[in-house]
Copies of this chain bind each other. A is one copy, B any other.
Amino acid sequence: MRLSQGFIPTIKETPNEAQIASHRLMLRAGMIRQSSAGIYCWLPLGLRVLKKIEAIVREEQDRAGAQEILMPTIQPAELWRESGRYEDYGKEMLRIRDRHDREMLYGPTNEEQVTEIVRASIKSYRDLPKLLYHIQWKFRDEVRPRFGVMRGREFLMKDAYSFDLDFAGARHSYNKMFVAYLRTFARMGLKAIPMRADTGPIGGDLSHEFIVLADTGESAVFCHKGLVDKDILARKIDYDANLQSIVNEWTSLYAATDEMHDKAAFEKIPEGERLAARGIEVGHIFYFGTKYSEPMKAVVAGPGGEQITVEMGSYGIGVSRLVGGIIEASHDEAGIVWPESVAPFKVAIVNLKPDDGAVSGTCQKLYDALAAKGIEALHDDRDLRPGAKFADMDLIGTPWQVKVWQALLAIPQGKVSTYRAIAGRVGNDNASRAVGTAVGRNPISWLIPCHRVLGSDGSLHGYHWGLERKRAMLAVEAARQSERPRTSAMA
Q: Is A39 an interface residue (CB 8 A)?
A: yes
A33 adjacent to B120 (CB under 8 Å): yes
Let me know if B75 and A36 touch, CB within 8 A.
Answer: yes
- Copies of this polypeptide in the complex: 2
Name the residue of chain B whose CB is nearest to the CB of A142.
Answer: B99
A205 within 8 A of B: no
Question: How far does the alpha carbon of A91 sit from the alpha carbon of B116 in the complex, in Å?
Answer: 29
A41 within 8 A of B: yes
Query: Are the CB atoms of A7 and B67 closer together than 8 Å?
Result: yes
Mask: chain A, 23-43; 1 = CB below 8 Å from B; 0 = not: 000000010010110011111
Q: Is the CB of A94 within 8 A of B96?
A: yes
Please determine whether A7 and B43 come into contact, CB atoms closer than 8 angstroms: no
When chains A and B are docked, how far (Å) is the Cα of A84 from the Cα of B40? 23
Within residues 204 to 242 of chain A, which ones have a CB less than 8 A from any CB in chain B?
A: none
Q: Quick one: which of A104-138 are within 8 Å of B by CB? A: 104, 106, 113, 116-117, 120-122, 130, 132, 137
Nearest Cβ distance between residue A6 and chain B, in whole angstroms? 7
Measured CB to CB, the nearest residue on chain B to A129 is: B5
Q: Give a binary string over A61-75; 1 marks a CB under 8 Å from any B CB, 0 the rest.
A: 000010111111111
> Is residue A18 contacting chain B, with contact meaning CB distance below 8 A?
no
Known: A7-B132, A43-B117, A96-B94. A154 touches B72 (CB 8 A): yes
Complex-state Cα separation, A318 to B41, whole angstroms = 21
A170 at the interface (CB under 8 A from B): no
Which single residue of chain B is at the shortest CB-CB distance from A44?
B67
Q: What B residues does A39 contact at CB under 8 A?
A: 72, 74-76
Question: Which of B7, B40, B43, B143 is in CB contact (< 8 Å) with A72?
Answer: B40
- Can you list 19 A-B contacts (CB < 8 A)? A6-B67, A7-B67, A35-B71, A35-B74, A35-B113, A39-B72, A41-B69, A41-B70, A43-B121, A44-B68, A47-B69, A73-B73, A73-B154, A74-B106, A74-B139, A94-B98, A98-B141, A98-B153, A99-B141
